[in-house]
Structure 1
């Protein structure tokens, strides 16, 4: 009888040990995913409406203490009744920095329909659809207005995105150091 009790106790203890080990593994996996997203979660963009002379501007913001590289913005645009997806490439965003690209200071090379080079200020509409960038670990991320896509999903979406041209801007119109850095504010 004592042997049966001992066996039953061992079985219950083994079961609870396995449950605890699984919970610890799940927690470690979740912590690892959160760590991988920590820098990407601090990278964002937003659009600024401007006057007719100044035009619109897109702001890229890096609130992390690490630089991001290969920051490309995909712009949805309208020019002379046609809709075009244009890529605005940037070499990256330094740590704790906001980079501003103003339409009045940029032109676009529309390769579809053989349109050629056009001032971005002449577009009737343009909006930043997404920001693709590479984090400090070399992972490619995609930020939209409503989501942050993990590297696997980002790669797939970028491969499916067809662009009609390129925005020509060697450098941002303006850069500014951020007061709050390394936080989610």
Structure 2
């Protein structure tokens, strides 16, 4: 009986071992049937596609970053070029005094101050065909406006040429309105600018040309006999 049981147990063990060996052989034969060259090609293609996708995404974002950097550099350069020009301004007080101000720490040169003065409700001179003229055109040139300073142009200083007499006369003691005001100047970098009532632009040829009407209503010529004296102004950029 003992020998029979032992033989049966050994038979079962051999059967299990044979099955395991068969499975192992089957697995080995399956791996042997794999086309490794083809599999390598497929893996290489997938890796190549992944690399292309990564490169494409990286290139796209790199280009976008470069665009942003270029745009920022251009904006910074434009801001720097306008830095001084933005500190040049003008305005008119209630007493009809014109202020032209340079709040930068450098002078501006070749300063043209242009404006039309209109004497409200009063004819200053008669033009052709006895047409009454109430407007005077001023174009004043200053070699420079010093840093941190302003020039004042008062109504009392303004003169106009009477076309009937040919003489230069003072504006009447009436309310005067100012139109078409602008200040043209050259900054420290040699750039030309025009400051008007509502904007600041770089000067372009022809940008300061405008018509004053026909010969019947053309404004009278105006002038300032004495150059105004520059006064210091506060606050001023770069001045401690």
TM class by shorter chain equals 0.7 to 0.9
Q: How far apart, in 2, do the equivalents of 1:121 and 1:137 lie? A: 41
Please say which of residues 160-169 and 141-150 is displaced more in the overlay.
160-169
Q: Which runs of 5+ in 1 are unaligned?
A: 51-55
- 2:207 is paired with a residue whose SS is helix
Contact 1:66 1:94 in 2 (8 A): yes
Whose helix proportion is higher, 1 or 2?
2
Cross-structure match for 1:158: 208
Give CA deviations for 1:86-115 in whole Å, capped at 9, x if unaligned: 2122222100001111121332347x8885
Contact 1:75 1:88 in 2 (8 A): no
The runs of 4+ residues in structure 1 deviating greater than 6 Å are none
Q: How far apart, in 2, do the equivalents of 1:3 and 1:45 lie? A: 66
Equivalences, count: 174
Contact 1:109 1:168 in 2 (8 A): no
Q: Report the TM-score when normalising by structure 1.
A: 0.81
Contact 1:73 1:131 in 2 (8 A): yes
Cross-structure match for 1:53: none
Cross-structure match for 1:182: 237
Please say which of residues 160-169 and 88-97 is displaced more in the overlay.
160-169
**Among 141, 145, 168, which residue is 1:117 paired with?**
168
Bigger relative CO (Cα 8 Å, ≥ 6 apart):
1
Cross-structure match for 1:96: 148
- How has the CA–CA distance of structure 1 residues 11 and 131 changed in structure 2, closer, same or farther, with 3 Å as cutoff? same
Q: CA RMSD in A?
A: 2.5
Q: How far apart, in 2, do the equivalents of 1:34 and 1:98 lie? A: 24
- Give the CA deviation at 1:123: 6.9
Cross-structure match for 1:57: 97
Where do residues 75-154 of structure 1 align in structure 2 (5 Å cutoff)?
A: 75-78=115-118, 80=123, 81-82=132-133, 83-109=135-161, 116-121=167-172, 125-127=176-178, 129-152=181-204
Contact 2:140 2:223 in 1 (8 A): yes
Give CA deviations for 1:15-52 in whole Å, capped at 9, x if unaligned: 111110011001111111111111110000111222xx
Contact 2:160 2:220 in 1 (8 A): no
Q: Which runs of 5+ in 2 are unaligned?
A: 1-45, 124-131, 213-218
Contact 1:89 1:167 in 2 (8 A): no
**Among 159, 168, 174, which residue is 2:224 paired with?**
168
Contact 2:157 2:226 in 1 (8 A): no
Q: How far apart, in 2, do the equivalents of 1:26 and 1:61 lie? A: 32
- How has the CA–CA distance of structure 1 residues 20 and 37 changed in structure 2, closer, same or farther, with 3 Å as cutoff? same
